[in-house]
Structure 1
Amino acid sequence: MPSRTPQQPAAESGPNSDELDAGLSDELATVVSGARRRALRDGDRQIDTAHLLHSLLESDPEVRAVFDGGPQVARLLGYLVQRSIGYGLRWQGTVEDSGRVPTVVEEGWSPAAAGAMEEACERAVLRGDTRARGADLLAAVVAGPQSRAVEVLGRAGVDARALLARIEAGLEEYAGGGDVGG
């Protein structure tokens, strides 16, 4: 049965959509689905890290809990909603680069978003889990200092490095003190 969502080809040297989807929890698969719909609705050719951040904030209570309360989440969502009518317009027609190996991607995942998805799955394995969760993806997105998501966080007054430290502390706690995976 053909999918209703467009094919999401990955970067030449990166994982493909099926490989990414296979390592996701059900909750994170819902996040990815929401990010795909948001990208299509916004007229963007690619899912980028800001789409992923927006979908994570909307659908994952564990992710929202990492932030400094409701006002910070509301401010972030406000910036993300403005993306299609405000400052995000300058992103349309451009590729969000990961800063890693240069790649050309016509449609699908931006290199930064594909890298974050792959890193989220790697974080899950290191934690001793077979599937990535929202916090894994948030950590991967926040770890990319040049990502659009980090730009949005900065505009909303969120210190990305402090946020990453809180996420990682929470993931270590979840994994039983961080001694899983080495």
Structure 2
Amino acid sequence: MHPRIPRQSAREQGGPPVGPDNDARLSAELAAVVSGARRRALRDGDRQIDTAHLLHSLLDADAEVYAVFEREPQLSRLLGYLVQRSIGYGLRWQGAVEDSGAVPVVATAEGFSPLAASAMEDACARAGSRGGGPARGLDLLAAILVDPGSRAVEVLTRAGIDARDVFVRLDERRPGGLWGRPPHLGH
């Protein structure tokens, strides 16, 4: 009998999230978030980390990200959808690659969906635009909210949380709105 959960290579289990030289671009907290997302993907039987895995791990492991959502009356619903992913909600995603086609895709990193790989790259770019330093959880949260077709945005929408409003709140936290508006927000 074969295990239900696909095995991941050593690189996928503990290697850098985007490429071998990119560990320095992530804060220790964000590296832990990626490790948590990798464990979730493996446990859920998914072959790739997607943006919903990243969102779930961000909410679990990053206090700054959790603080963005803690005043949302739908937070418990959001957490419920994320927890139910492996037992019902989200099962239709198994075996399918997350790629909405709305955002240019970077070369897919091993173990990541195209959108999750793009979000990781975008988070690092956002960290650079705010003056350097490693990417943090808020950088990744902003990056996964950019594509309205991402699984993370779908989960937020189903939970009754407007991803655009969350992005605007994040943007307002940065002096001068350094993150800019994603294309689906309009002006």
1:65 equivalenced with 2:64 (yes/no): no
8 Å CA contact 2:34–2:57 kept in 1: the answer is yes
Deviation at 1:67, TM superposition (A): 1.7
State the alpha-carbon separation in 2 of the partners of residues 70 and 181 from structure 1: 22
Counterpart pick for 2:30 among 24, 28, 47: 28
What is the SS of the residue equivalent to 2:97? coil
C-alpha distance after superposition, 1:140-182 (max 9, x if no partner): 0011111000000001000010110001111x1xxxx238799
Equivalent of 2:176 in 171, 175, 178: 178
Identify the residue that residue 75 of structure 1 maps to in structure 2. 77
- Which of 151, 155, 170 matches 2:154? 151
How many residues are matched? Answer: 168
Change (3 A) 1:152 1:5: same
Partner of 1:166: 169
Distance in 1 between the 2:27 and 2:105 partners?
A: 29
Counterpart amino acid of residue 131 in structure 1? P
Which residue identity lines up with residue 28 of structure 1 in the other structure? L
Find the aligned partners of 2:60 and 2:48 in 1 and give their Cα distance. 19
> What do residues 71-98 of structure 1 show as CA deviations (whole Å, max 9, x unaligned)?
4332211100111111200000000015
Any conservation in 2 of the 1:125–1:181 contact (CA below 8 Å)? no
Q: Answer whether contact 1:45 1:107 (CA < 8 A) is retained.
A: no
Percent of paired sites with the same residue: 64
Aligned residue for 1:87, secondary structure, equals coil
Task: Using CA pairs under 8 Å that are at least 6 residues apart, name the structure with larger relative contact order, 1 or 2.
Answer: 1
Counterpart Cα distance in 1 of 2:55 and 2:98: 14
Moved more, 113-122 or 20-29: 20-29
Structure 1: gaps (5+ residues): 9-14
Name the CA distance, whole Å, in 2 between partners of 1:115 and 1:98. 12
Please point out which of 92, 108, 111 is paired with 2:111: 108
How far apart in 2 are the matches of 1:53 and 1:158? 13
- Does structure 1 conserve the Cα–Cα contact (< 8 Å) formed by 2:144 and 2:152? yes
C-alpha deviations, 1:96-134, integer Å up to 9, x for none?
Answer: 015245789696100000000000000000000221110
Query: For structure 2, which runs of at least 5 residues remain unmatched after alignment?
Result: 1-7, 181-187
SS across alignment from 2:20: helix
Aligned alpha-carbon RMSD (Å)? 2.7
Work out the CA distance in 2 between the residues paired with 1:48 and 1:78.
18
**2:98 equivalent among 90, 96, 115:** 96
In 2, are the aligned partners of 1:98 and 1:115 still within 8 Å (CA)?
Answer: no
Larger CA deviation: 16-25 vs 112-121: 16-25
Q: Is the 8 A contact 1:63 1:138 kept in 2?
A: yes
The alignment's TM-score, normalised by the length of structure 2, stands at 0.80
User: Match for 1:92: what amino acid?
Assistant: Q
Contact 2:52–2:151 at 8 Å: present in 1 too? yes
